[in-house]
Homo-oligomer: A and B are copies of this chain.
């Protein structure tokens, strides 16, 4: 048969729930355009009234909704909220904590996770290393225009040119006032240099003597979802040390990217439980 949902044994007294979940995932996979009733009937291998009844229940809960004119079924707001909640465990923040701890431990300096929010970068986490002289320029929660700071610049450089221009247009008014050392022209330059080098370097532009290096973390579609970075005082981020730390950053970014692609992997505890797929 096709996808066949309920063949797998062990399920006592949960037939309708299994079907409901299967339909929910089918609707999700149909994408933003939504799925048609007949498609779902075919894909699930169930009777039409059954599918319809389940869809009604899912609609009542807000997990899916039906477009009034096309009659197609799509994911609803509650599914979105659920994803937001699951973020706490499977989002880039949770998945990056190990990486940040390793980076801070190995380098002795301070490691950061930033994410993009529109034309801005927000620092989500700051992990301090052992070295006693620390820069406190960037704190968790701080928000700066894309391009301002190493991680922030790494994300900007990872965007398409059109998006770079859009971001610069949005934040341009702030250069000159709040960020006097920056300008759209300078950032275009730095984006080019970042792309060429493969990593972003902030040579004390936000605060003199406070340097940083950063690399982007990309999602499945190749677009940046965040950045890992390391900050230290200037003489601890000379060229030689950059050559040493950048591979570490890149390796950790790769790990985070891989973890993001397959949220199912870790937690070996429940290993064998539902291996079949």
In this complex, what residue of B is CB-closest to A77?
A: B263
Each complex incorporates copies of this chain amounting to 2
- Given A97-B118, A120-B101, is A270 in contact with B85 using a C-beta cutoff of 8 Å? no
Residues of B within 8 A of A11 (CB): 53, 56-57, 60
Query: Given the complex of chains A and B, what is the CA–CA distance between A12 and B52 in angstroms?
Result: 11
Number of A interface residues in the complex (CB < 8 A): 92
- Asked whether A263 lies within 8 Å of B80 as measured between CB atoms, the reply is yes
- Given A80-B124, A90-B77, A264-B62, is A53 in contact with B13 using a C-beta cutoff of 8 Å? yes
Residues of B within 8 A of A65 (CB): 117-118, 267, 270
Chain A residues in contact with chain B, CB under 8 A? Answer: 2, 5-6, 8, 10-14, 16-18, 20-22, 24-26, 28-32, 35, 39, 42-43, 53-54, 56-63, 65-68, 74-91, 93-95, 97-98, 101, 115, 117-120, 122, 124, 140-141, 143, 160, 170, 221, 223, 262-265, 267-270, 272-274, 276-277
Closest 3 pairs between A and B when the two form their complex, measured CB to CB:
A83-B83, A98-B118, A77-B263
